[in-house]
Each structure stands twice: as C-alpha cells, then as structure tokens.
A and B are shown apart, each in its own frame.
Chain A
Amino acid sequence: MIGYIMRRLAAAVPVLLMVSLLAFLLMQIVPGDPAYAMAGSDASVTEIEAIRHDLGLDRAWYLRLADWYLALLRGDLGHSYTLRADVADLIIERIPVTLSIALYSLLIAIPCSIAMGIVAARFRGKLIDLGIMTTALLGVSLPNFWIGIMGILFFSVHLGWLPSGGYVPMGEDIGGWIRSMTLPALVLGTMQIGLLTRITRSEMLDIMHKDYVRTARAKGGSELRVLVRHALRNALVPIVTVIGLLFGMIVTGAVVVEQVFSIPGVGRLIVQAILTRDYPLIQGTLLFVAGAFVLINLLVDISYAYLDPRIRQA
C-alpha cells in the first residue's frame, strides 16, 4: 500500500514540472508587451517601465524561468498587481468558499446520480429509464450560467425563496450559508449529475451480468442488497474515477457559478484576474488549479487501492 502510494507520488512530479512550465509559457504568448496591457492606455512610459521591471520583463526569458521555478519551490506564486497582494494569500483566502460550494454540490450530485443510475439500469428500456437518461442528457447539455440565471429568475425574483447572490460564511450564520449556497450548488451539480448518472448506469449494466451478482441472488439476497452491496460496490471503482474527473468540471463550473451569483471564491478570482489582465494572478491561479487537479487524481488513485483489494495487494 505504502509502495503503491509512493509510486503514484513519484509519477506526479514530472507532470507538475510540465504543468508549471506550461503556466509560465502561457504568459509568454501574450501578444505585444504585457506591461502595456496591464498599465492601461493612459499610463506614462515610466509607469510602464516600472511594471516591466517588476514583472522581470527586462530580463532574459531563461532567467525569468529560473526565477519562476525558484519562487515556486518557496511556495511563492507571484504578486497580484490589481489586488496588491500575494497570489498565494489571495487563493488561500478564497479556498474555503469554493471548496464549500464544491462539496455541497457533490453532496447533492453523488447520491442523486447513483440512485438514478441504478434505477435506470435496473429498469433498462422501460419508460423510467428513458426519463432518467433524458434528464441526464439535459444535465450535460444545459449551460450552467444560464440555468443559474433562470434559477435566480424563478427562485429569487419570482418566488422570493432564495437570495439571488452573495455569500454568507458558514461560521457566521449556517442558515444564511445554506440559503445562499443552495442555488449555486444545485446549478454546479446539474452537469455532474448528468455525467455521473450516465456512468453509473453503464457500469451497473455491465456488472449486473457478472457471475458474482448471480451468486448473490442464489444466496437469497434481496434485489436491493444484490444491487447495492454486490453490483454497486464493484461499480464504485470506475465511478470514483469519474468523480475525480469531475474536478475539472467543478472548477470550470465554479468560475461560472461564482460569477453568476457574485460569490467571492477562487473562480471569481480567476475571472477578475482575466478581466483586469492581472497576468501574475492569472498564472498563479491557473497553476494552483492544475496542481490541485494533479493532487485530486492522486487521491483517486489511492482510493482505488482502498476500494479494490486486487490493486491494494499488487
């Protein structure tokens, strides 16, 4: 088990090196001089020069690359121009916000889609299967910013049940947090539900024909027990893989949803960085997201070992 985790960790290192190189290169493709873009049209030559100096643009690219990696080793993601703060600090401040919506949405999406996937697989070809699969397909086809707006229109403007945006920290007022986060979490969850339901259904269909499921029936287990304890338990490995893949979807979703509902999370920080052309902030947040993605995949690999004894003992 320890050996397996160490091997996975070692495999993540070259990916992280490439990812940080990519984040560095991304800012080198900015056409013209980033300092001009950042300073705005009415900046003076000296202001631009100052920015150029601060960004290190007056130095050779390989020196900047070396600086970038050295800073990363110290955990330094750079310095934001518009917000006048360390990028790492800005991200850390906002992690709890984004993480809490993400977990809330998963809490809604995972049980819903597993239940829907099992029902659809069990009643394959029946009307209820068609209904669930159509819902799931809508889930992956609906633009989330649009359902966000439609949700505001219906639940906030029309019914007045939920606030149309803003954020209440969980520590201050748990009820307020639930009210402000429910709509965003639902919106963030739609695409996850669509994808997970489809995967759960196809995995269950696969596994329901396995011999050990027949054995479970021959023992006298109830249909629910057979489906959940035997079939679903074995389908979990591929389902967990997809939950890991969902991370990408959640981050992109968070960027959009935080924008729609004015929630001060990491996603909104990214949009803000892009709209204000704050290049160090763009670079830092991107690298953070990619790094987190690599980390999540690592956790997924480790959870395989927990879920599947064949991997654990390999």
Chain B
Amino acid sequence: MTNISTTDHTDLQPAPWLALFGEGAMSRRLFRSPTFAVGFSIVALLVLAATIGVWFSPYQPNSMDLTARLAAPGPQHWFGTDNFGRDIFTRVAVGSQMSLLVGLLVVVITGIGGALLGALAGYVRALDNIIMRVMDAFMAFPAMLLAIAITAALGPSLMNVVVALAVSYIPRTARIVRGTALVVREQQYVEAALVAGAHTRRVLLVHVLPNCLGSLIVQLTFVFAYAVLAEATLSYLGVGLPPPAPTWGNGIASGREYIVEAWWMSLFPGLAITFAVLGFNLLGDGLRDVLDPHLRAET
C-alpha cells in the first residue's frame, strides 16, 4: 500500500537523470549551446590526453637525462625538457592524470558530503541550525586558504589534498542542496508520501535529491574547475603533492627559478591548467543555462 502510493507521487516530478541521459531532448538542447559544446570538447580532449596522450611519448615522466637539461622545444622534446632533463610533454600529459584524479575524487566526496549535509539541514528541522552555523564558520575562511591550512596541518599527500579541498567546498555545496530541500519539503507530494508512511530516508532519496540534482551537477562541475586550480596552487606553494610528482603546479614552481633560461618549463604546464579550468568552467556555464537557469555565477 505504502509502496503504491509513493510511486504514484514520484511520477508527478521530473527525474532529471532520465531527462539528461535518456533519449530525450536534454542532450540535444545541451549541445545546441556553443558554451557547452566547447567545454565538452575541451574536457573530452583532456580525458583523451590523460588516457592515451602518454603513449605518444617515448619518455618516462621521471626519467632524467642530464645531457639534455633545459632543452628548448623541438622535434626531440615537443615541450622541451626541465632542469633534470625530464620531458615536459610527458610530464604535462601525466599531470593531466593527476589533475583529473584529484578533481574527480574531490567532486565525489564534495557531492556526497554536500548532498547529505544539505539534505539533512534542509529536511530535518532540528539539525538545520547546528549544521548551517558550522557551515557558516567554515565559509568564513576563504576556500583555498582553508585548504592550504588543512594540508599544512595534515601534511602533503594526494589524499590530504583531496580531503582539504573537499572540506573547503562541502559547505558551499550543502547550502545549495539545503535551499532545494527547504522548497521540496513543503510540496504536496512529499506530505502525501509522509502521510502514506514513507520514511524520512526514503523521502530524502526519492524526492529531495532528484530535485536538487540539476543544481548539484552544475555546482560540482564548477567544483571540478576550482579543484584543478586549487591543486595546482597548493603544489606551487609547496603544500600539494610533494615534488617528484609530475603535477602541473610542481612544474610551474620549478620553472620559476629557470624563467630566464627556460620559459617553456612554466609555460606549458600553465597552459594546460588554463585549458582544463576553462573547459570545466565552460561546461558548468553550459549546464547551468540548461539545467538550472536560476543559479547565478557565484564563488
């Protein structure tokens, strides 16, 4: 009985994932937006570079060749070599793996954490005040500075960087989900589901989360962009992934000292960061126009 009535009410609301990935008009509408199309192409290219780009290079990212130190870009080394004679093209390609990995992990953790906290705060009145006040305190610190402080406290490592970035973006994500949850809670079909005996957990999963999915996807796309940028910044400041790791930020940091002799050391990793961040920002803008027209560009 309970089941029947809740399914009945579920039918009344849109299921964004079906609209997005089904054969419906959503994907066509998305690709009609030039912003989305360009962003999507850049991100696809990036994934391609991370997966098969390395095959095009005969070099290992960490193999040093002291005879070919600081070699300028040319047929041997497309992007030149660094102060240890390491091939920069290879390091930039491997760096894209690192950036995408960090971005992906941050997005997954931020998404789960933000959705859970936001839904709880928006749906369970007793928890709202406590959760949101703690979130406010977190948001009083600039996101990247909080991330710097957390990695400084925990020590530099891949997992710590991911945790630090996720912690700094969860409050912002939770706030968006909470907003939707507050609206959904008042809807008739949610009341009907509760009257029919549905559990809070079920209401959260079946009603609240699908409704915030649009804004959540948009927010997480931007979080991906921030994460790539922040990871590079942490590496540059020396609190990210420790040096032998071929991250883009590390590449620029070591290039800083050789700026006069070897501009290519810092140029190419920087272009890669710009390219990646631009791609995710465009993707986010395009998604927002289609999925969530009310959301504005916010930090």
Residues in chain A within 8 A of chain B (CB atoms): 14-15, 18-19, 21-22, 26-27, 29-31, 137-138, 140-143, 145-147, 149-150, 152-153, 157, 195, 198-199, 202, 245, 247-249, 251-252, 255-256, 259-260, 270-271, 274-275, 277, 282, 286, 289-290, 293-294
Bound Cα distance from A150 to B197, whole angstroms = 63
A248 close to B143 (CB less than 8 A)? yes
Bound Cα distance from A255 to B234, whole angstroms = 11
Asked if B133 lies at the interface with its beta carbon under 8 angstroms from chain A, I say: yes
B259 close to A18 (CB less than 8 A)? no
B270 close to A15 (CB less than 8 A)? no
Given contacts A19-B137, A26-B150, A270-B148, contact A255 B237 (CB under 8 A): yes
Smallest beta-carbon distance B99→chain A, Å: 11
Instruction: Give the contacting residue for B140; candidates A15, A31, A271; CB below 8 A.
Output: A15
Smallest beta-carbon distance B114→chain A, Å: 18
Residues of A within 8 A of B145 (CB): 248, 251-252, 255, 270, 286, 289
Asked if B282 lies at the interface with its beta carbon under 8 angstroms from chain A, I say: yes
Given contacts A15-B140, A259-B237, A282-B149, contact A198 B297 (CB under 8 A): yes
Residues of B within 8 A of A202 (CB): 296-297
Bound Cα distance from A35 to B247, whole angstroms = 31
B142 close to A293 (CB less than 8 A)? yes
Residues of A within 8 A of B152 (CB): 274, 277, 282
Smallest beta-carbon distance A6→chain B, Å: 20
Bound Cα distance from A205 to B269, whole angstroms = 37
Instruction: Give the contacting residue for B282; candidates A137, A153, A259; CB below 8 A.
Output: A137
Which residue of chain A lies nearest to B273 when distances are taken between CB atoms in the complex?
Answer: A143
In B262-299, which residues have CB < 8 Å from any A CB?
Answer: 263, 266-267, 269-270, 273-274, 277-278, 281-282, 285, 296-299
Residues of B within 8 A of A145 (CB): 232-233, 236, 252
Asked if B255 lies at the interface with its beta carbon under 8 angstroms from chain A, I say: yes
Residues of B within 8 A of A19 (CB): 137, 140-141
Asked if B155 lies at the interface with its beta carbon under 8 angstroms from chain A, I say: yes
Smallest beta-carbon distance A149→chain B, Å: 5
In B222-240, which residues have CB < 8 Å from any A CB?
Answer: 225, 229, 232-233, 236-239
B273 close to A146 (CB less than 8 A)? yes
Bound Cα distance from A148 to B46, whole angstroms = 24
Residues of A within 8 A of B252 (CB): 143, 145-146, 149
Residues in chain B within 8 A of chain A (CB atoms): 133-134, 136-138, 140-145, 148-150, 152-155, 225, 229, 232-233, 236-239, 249, 252, 255-256, 259-260, 263, 266-267, 269-270, 273-274, 277-278, 281-282, 285, 296-299
Residues of A within 8 A of B263 (CB): 153
Smallest beta-carbon distance A161→chain B, Å: 16
Bound Cα distance from A31 to B152, whole angstroms = 11
Residues of B within 8 A of A252 (CB): 142-145, 148, 233
For this complex, 19 residue pairs linking A to B, each with C-beta atoms less than 8 Å apart, are A18-B136, A18-B137, A22-B138, A26-B150, A29-B150, A30-B154, A31-B155, A137-B282, A143-B229, A143-B274, A143-B277, A145-B232, A145-B252, A146-B232, A149-B270, A153-B263, A248-B141, A252-B143, A252-B233
Instruction: Give the contacting residue for B133; candidates A18, A137, A138, A140; CB below 8 A.
Output: A18
Residues of A within 8 A of B249 (CB): 143
A150 close to B266 (CB less than 8 A)? yes
Bound Cα distance from A294 to B137, whole angstroms = 10
Given contacts A29-B153, A282-B149, contact A146 B266 (CB under 8 A): yes
Bound Cα distance from A264 to B281, whole angstroms = 33
B137 close to A22 (CB less than 8 A)? yes
Which residue of chain A lies nearest to B144 when distances are taken between CB atoms in the complex?
Answer: A252
Residues of A within 8 A of B144 (CB): 252
Given contacts A137-B282, A274-B148, contact A143 B140 (CB under 8 A): no
Give the secondary structure class of B's interface.
helix
B153 close to A26 (CB less than 8 A)? yes
Listed from nearest, the 5 A-B pairs whose CB atoms lie closest are A248-B142, A18-B137, A146-B270, A274-B152, A141-B277
Bound Cα distance from A251 to B143, whole angstroms = 10
Which residue of chain B lies nearest to A238 when distances are taken between CB atoms in the complex?
Answer: B296
A141 close to B270 (CB less than 8 A)? no
A22, A143, A195, A275: most-surrounded residue (chain B CB, <10 A): A143
A149 close to B299 (CB less than 8 A)? no
Given contacts A143-B270, A145-B252, A152-B259, contact A290 B140 (CB under 8 A): yes
Residues of B within 8 A of A198 (CB): 297
Residues of A within 8 A of B150 (CB): 26, 29
Residues of B within 8 A of A282 (CB): 149, 152-153
Smallest beta-carbon distance B243→chain A, Å: 13
Smallest beta-carbon distance A144→chain B, Å: 8
Bound Cα distance from A260 to B270, whole angstroms = 14
Residues of A within 8 A of B256 (CB): 149, 260
B239 close to A195 (CB less than 8 A)? no
Bound Cα distance from A138 to B274, whole angstroms = 8
Given contacts A137-B282, A143-B249, 14 further A-B contacts (CB under 8 A): A18-B133, A19-B137, A26-B149, A30-B153, A142-B277, A143-B236, A143-B252, A146-B252, A149-B266, A157-B260, A251-B145, A252-B148, A289-B145, A293-B141
Smallest beta-carbon distance B274→chain A, Å: 5
B281 close to A141 (CB less than 8 A)? yes
Which residue of chain A lies nearest to B276 when distances are taken between CB atoms in the complex?
Answer: A141
Residues of A within 8 A of B134 (CB): 18
Given contacts A143-B270, A143-B273, A149-B266, contact A15 B143 (CB under 8 A): no
Residues of B within 8 A of A21 (CB): 137
